[in-house]
């Protein structure tokens, strides 16, 4: 009997785009949309960029006047209900923007599907202005979903797309630290069991509040925000030095009072 290889055609769970249209995929997109809306609402500037994942608009609640999205050949075509993006065709490792020209960049599940995720972060660092912000989302390998995916290499079919290389949050934070980013906030979420049906996912809704309270680091998805720091600023030019003022010069009232007493005496 011949063995039929598993491909994205006979197993849609191996395709990232197909997975996003599944019940767990829609569940993740809804959770991330809420988190992105909250995180970008208080970030100000002029130029904001989303890289990939046109299924959601991560910049919807941001008020920057220029909002763009980088799309690749792997992204789905835009539908009638898609946001009216200013679209740029590029790859995350080579962004067609000037150095220090963007105020905010959002990377929804970009690093885990990139050929060189560290190169993506280096490019993000290049185009961000000092004190600019990057927001990253990804799957958490240290979760029930991550365990289910790991076991699929020996038993069963994968729960998440095989094409993704899911990166632990601690590793992402280490990469950010090496590039002089400072993590300012983050959150785990999506605590429901790795089920595939909409009804099964709905029955697990009670796990959301329990997970946030009792085991937050075991959420299946994480989102983290970091700020680009510039620690090596130098003042250029000559700085004039003046002698420190005396106590009498700092207290003119007392000084004048002393003179008045001297004249009267």
**How far is Cα 7 from Cα 244, in angstroms, rounded to an integer?**
77
Mean pLDDT (the chain, rounded): 83
Q: Using one digit for the tens of pLDDT, what is the confidence trace for 57-116? A: 999 999 999 999 998 655 655 544 445 568 898 999 999 999 999 999 999 999 999 999
- pLDDT of residue 250 exceeding 90, the answer is no
- CATH code for position 205: 3.40.50.150
Instruction: Say how many domains are in the chain.
Output: 1
Q: Using one digit for the tens of pLDDT, what is the confidence trace for 141-156? A: 999 999 999 888 888 7
Whether 8 contacts 157, CB under 8 Å: no
Q: Is residue 207 part of a domain?
A: yes
Whether 128 contacts 97, CB under 8 Å: no
Q: Using one digit for the tens of pLDDT, what is the confidence trace for 231-245? A: 765 545 554 545 544
Q: Is residue 248 part of a domain?
A: no
Q: Is residue 155 part of a domain?
A: yes
Whether 227 contacts 186, CB under 8 Å: no
Q: Is residue 256 part of a domain?
A: no
Q: Is residue 40 part of a domain?
A: yes
- For residue 21, the enclosing domain spans 12-234
pLDDT of amino acid 85: 67
**15: confidence class by pLDDT, cuts 50, 70, 90:** confident
Q: What is the pTM of this model?
A: 0.80
**Closest among 212, 232, 28 to 137, alpha carbons compared:** 28
Q: Is residue 1 part of a domain?
A: no
| 163 vs 193, more confident | 193
Task: Give the HSE-up count for residue 182: Cα atoms under 13 Å, Cβ half-sphere.
Answer: 9
Task: Give the HSE-up count for residue 153: Cα atoms under 13 Å, Cβ half-sphere.
Answer: 6
Q: Is residue 254 part of a domain?
A: no
Q: Is residue 132 part of a domain?
A: yes
**Closest among 143, 162, 164, 118 to 216, alpha carbons compared:** 143
């Amino acid at each position: 009997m011949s063995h039929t290889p598993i491909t994205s055609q006979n197993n849609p769970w191996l395709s990232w785009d197909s997975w996003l249209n599944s019940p767990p995929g829609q569940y993740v997109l809804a959770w991330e949309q809420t988190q992105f809306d909250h995180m970008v609402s208080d970030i100000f500037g002029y130029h904001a960029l989303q890289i990939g994942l046109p299924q959601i608009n991560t910049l919807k609640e941001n008020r920057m006047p220029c909002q763009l999205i980088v799309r690749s050949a792997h992204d789905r075509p835009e539908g009638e209900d898609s946001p009216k993006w200013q679209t740029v065709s590029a790859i995350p490792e080579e962004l067609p923007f000037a150095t220090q020209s963007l105020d905010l960049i959002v990377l929804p599940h970009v690093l885990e599907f990139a050929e060189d995720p560290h190169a993506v972060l280096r490019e993000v660092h290049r185009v961000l202005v000092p004190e600019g912000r990057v927001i990253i989302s990804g799957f958490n390998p240290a979760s029930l979903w991550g365990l289910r995916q790991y076991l699929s290499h020996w038993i069963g079919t994968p729960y998440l797309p095989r094409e993704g290389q899911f990166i632990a949050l601690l590793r992402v934070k280490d990469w950010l630290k090496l590039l002089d980013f400072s993590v300012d906030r983050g959150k785990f979420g999506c605590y429901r069991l790795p089920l595939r049906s909409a009804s099964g996912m709905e029955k697990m809704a009670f796990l959301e509040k329990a997970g946030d309270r009792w085991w937050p680091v075991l959420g299946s998805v994480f989102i983290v925000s970091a700020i680009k720091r510039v620690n090596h600023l130098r003042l250029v030019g000559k700085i004039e030095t003046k002698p420190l003022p005396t106590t009498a010069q700092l207290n003119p009232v007392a000084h004048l009072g002393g003179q008045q007493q001297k004249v009267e005496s």
